[in-house]
Amino acid sequence: MMPTGKLARMVVANATRSPKHFILSAFGIVIGIGAFVFFMAGTIGVSDVLLGKVFPLDQVEVIAPHTSIAGKNLSQKLTADTVATIKARPEVKEALPRMTLQFPAVGFGKFEGQEIRFEVGGFTDGIPDVHVADDPKLVDVFKDWGADPANDGPACVPGTPNACPDKAWQYCDGYDKVCRKRVPVIISPTVLELYNSQVADSHGLPHIGVMEQFIAERGRERMHFYMGLGSTMMAGSNVTIDPAKHREVGAILVGVSDKARRVGLTIPIGYVERWNRTFVGDTAASEYSSIIVTLRHKDQLAPFAQWLADGPKLKLEDQLGSSFATVIYVIRLVLLIIAFIIVMISAINIAHNFFMQVSERRREIGVLRAVGATQGDVMAIVLGESAIIGVVSGVIGCVLAWLASLVIDWILAHWVGEFPFKPTTLFNFEVWIAPSAIGLSIFFCVLGGLLPARRAAKLEPAAALAQN
């Protein structure tokens, strides 16, 4: 057989001696591989945004399906035992109980000089403070200060300016007339994004980038608001609360966390338990509304969901993320199939071009055989030439896809308006994409060159040399 170095040199020289043939053969593969890389990086990029930020698939919400017979509620109860059972699952990294505020409440206060008022009842969850313990910005502030009377401050007179010594953190409780620590509130990145993209501009409010920086610049006091427990903004609310129980508690927005409920407020669960007990009853204080489960990997969602249905008869609340995952998967599949079809058609084109070349180069092949080339050498030369086209086409395809992604990202940045979770790039060129694309390109080019190479190798030297 031909020495490898000599084969490589001959293949490169042959592949580059006819630019017309080279371009004709490479064009389709470049388009196909470019499409493959573009679609792959694009769908991964979009998937990262949608499933990583908008609908984090590794974090799912478990609820009890609602079941009732003859008006009697027979739904499963989510208790501390349920949380422990779920936590014991191998695919579960963390199980986080949530308890929703089950009575009417409103939030109100001033933000940037504007009066704000919003519904809190039903839109506020409580979570154990240990679940934000891994966040250094929240670990010292997101606590159930109300659980221990020792956290209370001195007596105060409601309505008096500077009634409490710690203006940033304390408020004067109008019910007990004592200085209390404000209820720490966190919001999700979704709420912050919705505020920035939907509320801020329309209300002339400032955009908030990094929440902690915003708080530091404007002061803690700007994050104050009050929660009117037992009150509601909803007309016709059928929940009746004893007016004697109505009270107002001070709250403070302390930060942003992906542990917070997607839309609404999140406070330490101790507050919600106590308030639910006071305003609704003991049952409301012992049953969780949902359990947020963090999976060890997104891929474990399906087996976990199956276990939920088969075992504790529970289900996943929000299927939107997995629906999006399926949609993206299908879109990716369709786009990749299109790319594959382009590449396969290109491989056929390469085969056609190489058949033509073999036909045109019959005499040359005959000469090579006459001076000592074996059938294997001839086959290796033709396949080598097609592989060279594969390498070059693959690299050009990758570069074109990358350039196209830059154009798309530029258009996204300059021509497309702001929207929630607007990414800086729609593409994620993971490290394996380019090598795979080039490998694929080589594979299809060699595939296209296979039959012509066989024909070239099988040419009888005498017949090849007899060509006019």
Partner 1 sequence: MTSPVISLRDITKSYGQGAARASVLRGVSLDIAPGELVALVGQSGSGKSTLLNIIGGLDKADGGDVNVLGHDYRRTSEQALARLRNTSIGFVFQAFNLLDHLTCLQNVTLPSQFSAAGKDVDTRGREALDRVGLAAFAGRRPSELSGGQKQRVAIARALFGAPKLLLCDEPTGNLDSATGAEVIEFFQKLNRDDGVTLVIVTHERRVSNIAQRVVAMRDGAIVEGAGTNEHTAGAGDDLGGPA
Positions touching partner 1 (CB under 8 A) are: 1-3, 6, 10, 13, 17, 363-364, 366-377, 460-463, 465
**Tokens, residue 134:** 């891994």
Q: To the nearest whole angstrom, how small is the minimum distance from the Cβ of residue 12 to partner 1?
A: 13
Q: To the nearest whole angstrom, how small is the minimum distance from the Cβ of residue 445 to partner 1?
A: 22
| CB closer to partner 1, 5 vs 204 | 5
Helix (H, G, I), strand (E, B) or coil at 81: helix
**Tokens, residue 365:** 């092949």
Q: To the nearest whole angstrom, how small is the minimum distance from the Cβ of residue 375 to partner 1?
A: 6
Give first-to-last CA distance, the chain, whole Å: 29
| CB closer to partner 1, 143 vs 361 | 361
| CB closer to partner 1, 449 vs 461 | 461
Q: To the nearest whole angstrom, how small is the minimum distance from the Cβ of residue 377 to partner 1?
A: 6
Q: Which residue has the tokens 């690299």?
A: 395
| CB closer to partner 1, 133 vs 466 | 466
| CB closer to partner 1, 169 vs 354 | 354
Q: To the nearest whole angstrom, how small is the minimum distance from the Cβ of residue 389 to partner 1?
A: 17
Measured at the CA of 316, the angle between CA 313 and CA 321, to 5 degrees, comes to 160
How buried is residue 107: exposed, middle or buried, by Cβ count under 10 Å (0-12/13-18/19+)? buried
Q: What sections of 233-311 are H helices per DSSP?
A: 269-279, 301-310
Q: To the nearest whole angstrom, how small is the minimum distance from the Cβ of residue 29 to partner 1?
A: 24
How buried is residue 159: exposed, middle or buried, by Cβ count under 10 Å (0-12/13-18/19+)? exposed
Q: How far is CA 421 from CA 51, 190, 211, 424, 425, in A?
A: 11, 8, 16, 9, 11
- Write the DSSP string, 130-167: GGGTT-TTTTTTSS-GGG-GGG---B--TT-TT-SS-T
> In whole angstroms, what is the distance from residue 227 CA to residue 240 CA?
18
| CB closer to partner 1, 129 vs 377 | 377
For 104, the enclosing helix (H) or strand (E) is none
Q: How far is CA 468 from CA 248, 361, 364, in A?
A: 101, 11, 12
| CB closer to partner 1, 266 vs 357 | 357
Residues 6+ apart with CB under 8 A from 13: none
Q: To the nearest whole angstrom, how small is the minimum distance from the Cβ of residue 378 to partner 1?
A: 10
| CB closer to partner 1, 294 vs 467 | 467
| CB closer to partner 1, 15 vs 301 | 15
Measured at the CA of 359, the angle between CA 356 and CA 362, to 5 degrees, comes to 145
> In whole angstroms, what is the distance from residue 424 CA to residue 45 CA?
10
